[in-house]
Amino acid sequence: MTTQTREFVASTPGRLSRTAFTLTEVLVVIFTLGLLAALLMPALAGARSQAQSLVCRTRLRQLVLANVGYATENDGFYVPAASDMSNNAGLHRWHGVRTARNEPFDPSKGPLAAFLAEGRIKECPTRVGFSKTAGWGSSFEKGCGGYGYNMTYLGSRLWEAAAEFKQAYARTTAAQEVANPGQTVMFADTAMANAGETLIEYSFAEPPFTVYAGQVMTDFYMSPSIHFRHQQRTNVGWADGHVGTEAMAPFEGVNAYGARSSAFELGWFEPADNTPFDLR
C-alpha cells in the first residue's frame, strides 16, 4: 500500500463522520421547513385570493359591457332582470331562460348571450360552495355565475312612480336616464343564505330598502345579497363600465329565511342605503 493510499484510507472515516446528519439535525431541518411553510401559506392564500378577485372583476366588466351592448341594440334600454317576475313564472332572467322552475337557467339562451364571450355567463372563480341541488327552494337562481344585477333601478322600472306593476318588470331603464353612471351599481358579487349553512346562487343585487311605486320603503331591510367573498370585500361593476371593490359595512340582521346574513359574508357597503343603486 502506497503512502497516498494509506492517507486516503486513514482520512475516510473522519470524512464520513463529518458529512453525516444526526437525528437532532434532521428534526431541526424538518421543523424549520414546516415553520417556513406555515409562514408562507397565508401569503400564498392571499395571493391566490387576489388573483381570483382580479379574474372576477374581469368577468363583471364583461357583464357590464354586454348590458351596454344590449342597450345599444334595444333603443338604449338595459336588459330586463326578470321580465316575468310579476306573475312569478320564474322562467326568464337576465342571465338565462328555462322551461320549468326546477331546472337551472340556460345562459346560452339568455338575452345577453349574443354579447358575451363564448355566449355564456362565466362563474366567479372563487369557490363559494353554492348548493347544487335541483329543488326550487334551494337553487331558484342557478346559472347566474354568482353575480347579481341591479333589478330595482336598472333592470326594471320599479323606481318609477307611474309604472304599472306588471310593466315595471317588463320594461327597464334607459342608459340616458342614469344621472351618475359611475356611482350606480349595475352588477356585483351576490349570493343568498337560504337555509342552514347553505348559500345559493342569486341573480339580483338587492338594495337595502325595497321600492314600491317609486317610493323607498325604509320600514324594513331587504335580505342582503351582496356577497363579500374576496377577503371580506365585494366586486362591483358600475354603469359607466368601471369595476371596483368595496368593503362590507356593519350590519346585523336576520334575512327572510332566518339566516344571520353577516355570518355568510352578506350585507351592503357604504353608504348602506339605496344611494349606490339609485339611478337619480
CA distance linking residue 87 with residue 77, whole number of Å: 22
DSSP H or E run through 14 = helix 3-19
Predicted pLDDT at 44:
52
Residue 273 in any domain: the answer is no
Q: Is the sign of the CA dihedral 207, 279, 160, 78 positive or negative?
A: negative
State what percent of residues in the chain have pLDDT above 70: 83
Residue 193 lies in a domain: yes
Q: Position 261: which residue type?
A: S
Q: What is the arithmetic mean of pLDDT over 83-102? A: 87
**Residue 146's domain spans which residues?**
3-267
Q: What are phi and psi of 48, to 5 degrees?
A: -65, -45
Number of domains in the chain: 1
pLDDT the model gives residue 126: 86
Q: Sort residue 121 into left (φ over 0), alpha (ψ -120 to 50) or beta.
A: beta
pLDDT confidence of 40, banded at 50, 70, 90? low
Q: 185: which strand partners?
A: 238
Establish if 188 belongs to a structural domain: yes
**pLDDT tens profile 130-177:** 887 766 666 678 888 899 999 999 999 999 998 887 889 999 999 999
What pLDDT does residue 190 have? 97
End-to-end CA distance of the chain: 101
Buried b (16+ CB within 10 A) or exposed e, 99-110: eeeeebbebeeb
pLDDT tens sequence across 212-222: 888 999 999 99
The C-alpha cell 315595471 sits at 168
In a domain, 274, yes or no: no
Cell reading at 263:
355570518
SS3 of residue 63 by DSSP: helix
pLDDT greater than 70 at residue 236: yes
**Residue 9 backbone dihedrals phi, psi, to 5 degrees:** -65, -40
Residue 256 domain-assigned? yes
Q: Which three cell numbers stand for residue 69?
A: 351592448
- φ, ψ of residue 12 in degrees (nearest 5): -60, -50
**Is residue 272 in some structural domain?**
no
Asked if 67 and 74 count as a contact pair (C-beta separation under 8 A), the reply is: no
Which of these, 249, 254, 223, lies nearest to 234 by C-alpha position? Answer: 249
Position 41 in a domain: yes
Residue 280, domain member (yes or no)? no
User: The whole model's pTM is what?
Assistant: 0.81
Closest to 228 (Cα-Cα) out of 128, 81, 154, 129: 128
Q: Name the 3-class secondary structure at 232.
A: coil
Cell, residue 228:
363579500
Q: For all residues of the chain together, what is the average pLDDT? A: 85
Check: CB of residue 166 under 8 Å from CB of residue 98: no
Asked if 239 and 65 count as a contact pair (C-beta separation under 8 A), the reply is no
Over residues 44-53, the mean pLDDT reads: 64
Q: Which residue has the higher pLDDT, 51 or 20?
A: 51
Cell of 13: 472515516
